[in-house]
Structure formats: C-alpha cells, structure tokens
C-alpha cells in the first residue's frame, strides 16, 4: 500500500511519471513495456463518457424507487459517508446534483473502479488533483452502486 499511495503523492508533482509507473496491469512487470504503456495511457481521449470500468452502457432512470433509494442510503452511510457529505465538500466532493454534472454510468464506474478511473479518466484525474485523496475502492457490488445512485436521485428530488 505504501508504494501505491506514494505514487498518488507524486501525482501532484509529476503526473507523467506516475502514468509510467502506475501503468496497466502488466506495466510493472517489465521495463521493456513501459514505453508502450505510457503511450497507451497518454491517449486520454479514448476513454468514453462512461469512464473506465465495468459499466459500458448508458444507465437509464425511471421513476424514483423509494425502496432502492433507502437501500442505497444504508450502503452510503456505511461505505461512503466517512469521505462524502451530500451538501458540502468533505474529503471528497459534495454529491448533491452529481447526476446532473456527470453521466450516471460514469458515477457507477467511479464507485466500482476508482483505482483505474483516477489513473485513466481525464475528469477523475482532475478531481484527484483537486481533492488529493484518491477515491477509495469500497468493493460495492453493481447492485449496491446502483442503489446508491437511486439515493442520490431521491436526495436531489427531496432537496430541490
């Protein structure tokens, strides 16, 4: 952990370096692949509007499911609340209106795959540069992450 997080520390100083050393899955295995890894990572524009992660389709919404939102609030309280408040900046950004600012699929990937997102997705990288603490992977299931989104929707609806 020390190594990885030291790398996050270096991101502030030398983004290019961290891209080299924190490359893809195989990047650390052999010095001979570093060049190509760097090139691959440098092409940020290739990441989709959904971000990097398991959700590569458009998450769509119907009417707000109150049960699902309640479930999501429970998950949020246990796994997310230590770093996120809804209404103000804490360790991470305030989450009110997040689904207006970001594609819901992108938010899902940020929850499910934060390690790769802060390395490869341009928006997530910018957020890391601003907030400094990398988003923790709390190992939510896709169902749990979807429930958290429903809680965000309900929160926004209740607080308009």
Partner 1 sequence: MKTILYSIAAVVMMAVVAGCGNDNGKKGAITSSGAADEVYVAPGEHDEFYEFFSGGFSGQVSVVGLPSGRLFRRIPVFSVDAEKGWGFDEETKPMLNTTHGFIPWDDAHHPKLSQTNGEIDGKWLFINGNNTPRIAKIDLTTFETAEIIEIPNSAGNHSSPYLTMNTEYVVAGTRFSVPIPQKDVSIKTYKENFQGMISFISVAPEDGDMELAFQILMPGYDYDLASSGKGPSHGWTFFTTYNTEKGATMKEATASQNDKDFIAAINWKKAEEYIKEGKFEEWTSPYCNNEMDESTHMAKSTVKNKVKVLNVTNCPGLVYFLPTPKSPHGVDVDPTGKYIVGCGKLSADLTVHSFDKMMEAIKNKDYETTVDGVPVLKYESVVTGVVKSGGLGPLHTEFDGDGNAYTSFFISSEVVKWKIGTWEVVDRIPSYYSIGHLSIPGGGSMKPWRKYLVSMNKITKDRYLPTGPELAHSAQLYDITGDKMRLLLDFPTDGEPHYAQGCAAELIKPNSKKFFKLEENKHPYAVKSEAEARVERKGNEVHVYMSSIRSHFAPDNIEGIRVGDKVYWHVTNLEQDWDTPHGFAMMGAQNSETLIMPGVTKTLLWEPKVPGVFPFYCTDFCSALHQEMQGYVRVSPSGSNTELKWWLGED
Q: At what angle do helices 2-11 and 122-131 cross, to 10 degrees?
A: 90
Quick one: which segment of 38-46, 50-58, 99-107, 126-134 binds partner 1 (CB under 8 A)? 126-134
Q: Is there binding between residue 94 and partner 1 (CB under 8 A)?
A: no
Q: Is the dihedral of CA 2, 141, 49, 52 positive or negative?
A: positive
Which of the 8 DSSP states describes residue 135? P
Is residue 12 within the footprint of partner 1 (CB under 8 A)?
Answer: yes
Residues in the chain: 160
Q: Measured from the CB of residue 143, what is the shortest distance to partner 1 in angstroms?
A: 14
Positions in 30-89 near partner 1 (CB under 8 A): 30-31, 77-79, 81-83
Residues 144 and 122: their CA atoms lie apart, in Å, by: 25
Answer for the pair 133, 91: CB distance below 8 angstroms, yes or no. yes
Interface with partner 1 includes 103 (CB under 8 A)?
A: no
CB of 25 to partner 1, least distance (A): 10
- Grouping H, G, I as helix, E, B as strand and the rest as coil, residue 70 is helix
Q: Which of 44, 132, 142, 157 binds partner 1 (CB under 8 A)?
A: 132
Q: Give the residues lining the site for partner 1 (CB under 8 A).
A: 1-2, 4-6, 8-9, 11-12, 28-31, 77-79, 81-83, 90-91, 132-134, 136-139
């Amino acid at each position: 952990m020390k190594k990885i997080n030291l790398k996050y520390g270096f991101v502030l100083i030398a983004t290019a370096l961290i891209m080299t050393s924190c490359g893809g899955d195989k990047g650390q295995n052999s010095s001979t692949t570093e060049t190509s890894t760097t090139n691959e990572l440098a092409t940020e524009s290739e990441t989709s509007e959904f971000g990097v992660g398991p959700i590569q389709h458009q998450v769509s919404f119907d009417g707000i499911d109150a049960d699902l939102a309640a479930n999501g609030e429970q998950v949020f309280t246990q796994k997310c609340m230590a770093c996120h408040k809804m209404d103000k900046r804490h360790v991470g950004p305030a989450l009110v209106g997040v689904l207006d600012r970001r594609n819901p699929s992108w938010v899902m990937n940020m929850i499910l795959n934060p390690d790769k997102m802060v390395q490869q997705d341009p928006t997530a990288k910018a957020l890391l540069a601003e907030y400094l603490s990398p988003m923790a992977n709390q190992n939510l299931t896709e169902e749990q992450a979807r429930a958290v989104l429903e809680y965000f929707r309900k929160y926004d609806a209740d607080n308009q």
